[in-house]
Amino acid sequence: MSDKVTIAQAFIQALPHARALGMVLDRISDGESIVSMPYDVRFVGDPATGVIHGGAVSALMDTALGAAVLSHPTAPASTATLDLRIDYMRPATPGQRITARAECYHVTRSVAFVRATASDDDAERPVATATGAFTLERPVGAQA
Q: What is the pTM of this model?
A: 0.90
* Residue 74 lies inside a defined structural domain of this protein: yes
Domain count, the chain: 1
* Residue 7 lies inside a defined structural domain of this protein: yes
* Residue 17 lies inside a defined structural domain of this protein: yes
Per-residue pLDDT tens over the stretch 89-139 = 999 999 999 999 999 999 999 999 999 999 999 999 999 999 999 998 876
Whether pLDDT at 1 is above 90: no
* Residue 119 lies inside a defined structural domain of this protein: yes
* Residue 144 lies inside a defined structural domain of this protein: no
| Residue-number span of the structural domain to which 56 is assigned | 3-135
* Residue 52 lies inside a defined structural domain of this protein: yes
What CATH number is attached to the domain comprising 16? 3.10.129.10
* Residue 140 lies inside a defined structural domain of this protein: no
* Residue 141 lies inside a defined structural domain of this protein: no
Whether pLDDT at 63 is above 90: yes
Three-state secondary structure readout of the chain: CCHHHHHHHHHHHHCHHHHHCCCEEEEEECCEEEEEECCCHHHEEECCCCEECHHHHHHHHHHHHHHHHHCCCCCCCECCEEEEEEEECCCCCCCCCEEEEEEEEEECCCEEEEEEEEECCCCCCCCEEEEEEEECECCCCCCC
